[in-house]
A and B are shown apart, each in its own frame.
Chain A
Amino acid sequence: MSAAMDTESTYSGYSHYSGHSKKAHRQGRDRHKSPRSKDGSRSEKSVTIQTPPAEPLLGNDASQVEDGQDDNWGETTTAITGTSEHSISQEDIARISKDLEDSVGLDCKRYLGLTVATVLGLFVFLTPIAFILLPQILWRDDLEPCGAVCEGLFISVAFKLIILLIGTWTLFFRQPKADIPRVFVFRALLLVLIFLFVFSYWLFYGVRILDLKDTNYQGIVQYAVSLVDALLFIHYLAIVLLELRQLQPMFAVKVVRSTDGESRYYSLGHLSIQRAALVVLENYYRDFPVYNPALLTASKSRAAKHMAGLKVYNVDGPGNNAAGQSRAMIAAAARRRDSSHNELYYEEADQERRVKKRRARLVVAVEEAFTHIKRLQAEEQQKAPGEVMDPREAAQAIFPSMARALQKYLRTTRQQQYHSMESILQHLSFCITNNMTPKAFLERYLNPGPTLQYDRDRWFSKQWTLVSGEAVTSGLQDGIVFVLKCLDFSLVVNVKKIPFIKLSEEFIDPKSHKFVLSLQSETSV
């Protein structure tokens, strides 16, 4: 791997060409480099239709496609491709180092917080029991006998402790869904509060009861009961602060993906920025269509063409007038007669037509395949009622008839790296088992689904960084913007307050706003 990286760090355009023999080591995410060969053809202002070379069935990791398309590659300008080469190699390094960080060692901070909370919880839980038992152990004979009242108090202490235990377990000991950088302010406050509270109770207990060896046992038990009551109230406070406060929606949050502009709105309550980021990320995996770098090549090629169109030569000798140069470039670009909008329009119309055609072929092929299955099932039922065809076998039987249409469609919509042959066969046998129609089977392939639907290796987005101007533990306010970055793209989050709605009451005469149909009927008698 290090040899490949050495080759890539140079700026020469042909380094990629020499490096392609090491493609087997690279992972699938380098695929988005392949359409760059189209840059070369576009910058010459001609529309060429690149027929991709005949690709083997989807099972192979599409490393062989780059061979056919690399032939035109040498015509592109080296400056642009050189920089993108460099950035890719840096990203590779970044990715590798992050992977290493993941696997090495446990996260000490998370476990530290958890252990502190558990220890404190145990201490707090055992305190009332200790309050009640210590006098019995230490000076049993001196204690006044305490009848039914004490027994009632014992029962109430026991049940309140059980309720407290169940409540705390439900509220706090849930599987942590995520790992966040800073401490939860409210949780920390509550822990401190509980600690101080119990500490002061122990203080009073030690001074007033243990030292003086108080004989009024009923008083001691009531002291313990008051502690448990107060703990229940603190638990109530915890519920309100940690759970109820953020339920009522106060902010509308807009999340925009930087690469393709996909946006969603979410409603959030009073949360800290880090928790809001968590909510956004959880919803990202479910709502946003999967990030597909292959779909961005068209805009990248257009951008490359804009940059490649103008070159600035400094003929007046040394002296770097950078500002003047950029202004001159912008002015020249504005004056240039640009027909790229035309190209965009026809290209998009073409692409749409192509996709629709392939989709029609695909739908027909899949429908035929499914009717074939039905026929087979009918035959099976007539022949031997005991033998039922295994769905896996049925899937394998009909797969070849629609494999080609499906493969072509996926390639046209650039989704082919998300579906391997094995996954398609699995999905097919799943659909056959559950008696799904062809349309239900195709639903997965016709449109790009949310990120959760795909294999984890294809996600492109596992490590996130929160970039925020304000402190991440501060609450959400109107107008806050923060960014969630991952390696390939970022999510820009914009927070807006839900407007205050004022409803007022006004009396309106019922006759004046209702429509009454007045009739004039005539009856003959």
Chain B
Amino acid sequence: QYSAVVSFSPFQQRIEIHKLRQGDNLILGFSIGGGIDQDPSQNPFSEDKTDKGIYVTRVTEGGPAEVAGLQIGDKIMQVNGWDMTMVTHDQARKRLTKRNEEVVRLLVTRQSLQKAVQQSMMS
């Protein structure tokens, strides 16, 4: 039982990533950080330092995520309809790496474009 906080963020985008097969694994090409079991104050991308959501911390060059338009610092709100704002880090990882799914549809939110550019230049 949790209370969903609906925030009207300035920029929400739907991104569809097709997983790339590498050997035995299906990879998406980005890294996530955050979760309700993590320390939110160490998150460099969040505006609100108590935000325990899942954020994109790295995007590999040329990977499926970059191709689909995912950017560093994006906060992932939903994955294939599953909520990601109140999950643990491990639950988030599991939801993204399901073996029988080849396509994941993410709902991400982004801070204003200027801030996103600044952050990507700084990091």
- Is B53 an interface position by the 8 A CB rule? no
Q: Which residue in chain B gives the minimum CB-CB distance to A517?
A: B39
B30 touches A524 (CB 8 A): yes
| Contact (Cβ within 8 A) B57 A525 | no
Q: Are B89 and A521 in contact, CB atoms less than 8 angstroms apart?
A: yes
Distance (Å) between the CB of B116 and the closest chain A CB?
19
Chain B residues within an 8 Å CB radius of A141: none
A268 to B50, CA, bound (A): 59
Chain B CB within 8 A of A523 CB: yes
The verdict on B87 contacting chain A, using a C-beta distance below 8 Å, is: no
- Residues of chain B with a CB closer than 8 A to A524's CB: 27, 30-32, 58, 60
- Per-residue contact bits, chain A 485-520, to B (CB 8 Å; 1 contact, 0 not): 000000000000000000000000000000000111
Chain B 65-123 residues near chain A, CB threshold 8 A: 89, 93, 96-97
Asked whether B38 is an interface residue with its Cβ less than 8 Å from the other chain, the reply is: yes
Contact A525 to B38, CB < 8 A, known contacts A520-B33, A520-B43: no
Q: Tell me the bound Cα distance from A377 to B24 in angstroms.
A: 72
Q: How many A-B residue pairs have CB under 8 A?
A: 39
B30 contacts A522, C-beta separation under 8 Å:
no
**Cβ–Cβ < 8 Å partners of B93 in chain A:** 523, 525
Interface string of A375-417 (1 = CB under 8 A from B): 0000000000000000000000000000000000000000000
Q: Does chain A have a CB within 8 A of B3?
A: no
A521–B30 Cα distance when bound, in Å, is 14
A521-B33 in contact (CB<8A): yes
Chain A residues positioned under 8 Å from B89 (CB to CB): 521, 523
Total interface residues on B, using CB and 8 Å? 19
- A108 vs B91: C-alpha distance in the bound complex, in angstroms? 90
CA A521 – CA B39 in complex, angstroms? 9
Which of B30, B39, B96, B97 is A520 in contact with, Cβ under 8 Å?
B39
Most chain B CB within a 10 A radius of its CB, from A519, A521, A524, A525? A525
Chain A residues within 8 Å of B97, by CB: 525
Asked if B9 lies at the interface with its beta carbon under 8 angstroms from chain A, I say no
Once the chains are docked, how many angstroms separate the CA of A521 from the CA of B89?
8
Check: B42 CB closer than 8 A to any chain A CB: yes
Task: Give chain B nearest CB distance to A276 CB in angstroms.
Answer: 61
A interface residues, how many (CB within 8 angstroms): 8
* B73 to A: closest C-beta gap in Å: 13
A524 to B89, CA, bound (A): 11
- With both beta carbons as reference points, the residue of chain B lying nearest to A523 in the complex is identified as B93
Complex-state Cα separation, A522 to B57, whole angstroms: 7
Complex-state Cα separation, A520 to B46, whole angstroms = 13
Please determine whether A525 and B33 come into contact, CB atoms closer than 8 angstroms. Answer: no
With A523-B89, A525-B97 in contact, is A518–B32 under 8 Å at CB? Answer: no
Name the CB-closest residue of A to B96.
A525
Q: A229 to B57, alpha carbons, bound, how many Å?
A: 85
Residues from chain B with Cβ under 8 Å of A518 in the complex: 38-39, 41-42
Contacts of B28 in A (CB 8 A): 525
**Residues 331 to 357 of chain A near chain B (Cβ within 8 Å):** none
Cross-chain contact A525 with B27 (CB below 8 angstroms): yes
Chain B residues with CB below 8 A from A525, complex form: 27-28, 30-32, 93, 96-97
Closest to B92 in A: A523
Q: B33 — which chain A residues lie within 8 A by C-beta?
A: 520-523
A523 proximity list for chain B (CB < 8 A): 31-33, 89, 93
Interface centre among B28, B41, B57 (most CB of A within 10 A): B57
Residues of A within 8 A of B39 (CB): 518-520
Distance of A521 Cα from B43 Cα, bound (Å): 10
Complex: chain B residue closest to A521, CB-CB: B89
Q: How far is the CB of B37 from chain A (nearest CB, A)?
A: 9
B60 → A minimal CB distance (Å) = 8
Q: Which of A36-90 contact B (CB under 8 A)?
A: none
Chain A hits for B30, CB < 8 A: 524-525
Chain A residues positioned under 8 Å from B38 (CB to CB) = 518-521
Nearest A residue to B104 via CB reads: A525
Q: Report which of B27, B31, B41, B96 forms a contact with A522, defined as CB distance below 8 A.
A: B31
CA gap between A523 and B92 in the complex, in Å: 10
A101 CB to nearest chain B CB (Å): 83
Q: Which residue of B lies closest to A524 (CB)?
A: B31
Closest to B90 in A: A523
B123 CB to nearest A CB, Å: 12
Bound CA–CA A519/B36 (angstroms): 11
CA distance A90 to B79 in the complex (A): 105
List of B residues within 8 angstroms of A519 by Cβ: 38-39
Question: Which residues of chain B come closer than 8 Å to A521, judged between CB atoms?
Answer: 33, 38, 89
| Minimum CB–CB distance for B53 against chain A, Å | 13
Q: For the complex, give the distance between the alpha carbons of A521 and B60 in Å.
A: 17
For the complex, give the distance between the alpha carbons of A519 and B40 in Å. 9
CA distance A521 to B41 in the complex (A): 13
CA distance A521 to B34 in the complex (A): 7
- Residues of A with C-beta under 8 A to B43: 520
| Chain A to chain B contacts (Cβ below 8 Å), 29 pairs | A518-B38, A518-B39, A518-B41, A518-B42, A519-B39, A520-B33, A520-B38, A520-B39, A520-B43, A521-B33, A521-B89, A522-B31, A522-B32, A522-B57, A522-B58, A523-B31, A523-B32, A523-B33, A523-B89, A523-B93, A524-B27, A524-B32, A524-B58, A524-B60, A525-B27, A525-B28, A525-B31, A525-B93, A525-B96
Q: Which residues of B approach A to under 8 Å, CB–CB?
A: 27-28, 30-34, 38-39, 41-43, 57-58, 60, 89, 93, 96-97
With A523-B31, A523-B33 already in contact, 20 other A-B pairs whose C-beta atoms are closer than 8 Å: A518-B38, A518-B39, A520-B33, A520-B34, A520-B39, A520-B42, A521-B33, A521-B38, A521-B89, A522-B32, A522-B57, A523-B32, A523-B93, A524-B30, A524-B31, A524-B58, A525-B28, A525-B30, A525-B31, A525-B93
A residues touching B (Cβ–Cβ < 8 Å)? 518-525
- Which 10 residue pairs are nearest across A and B when measured between Cβ atoms? A518-B39, A524-B31, A520-B42, A525-B96, A522-B33, A525-B28, A523-B93, A522-B31, A522-B57, A525-B97
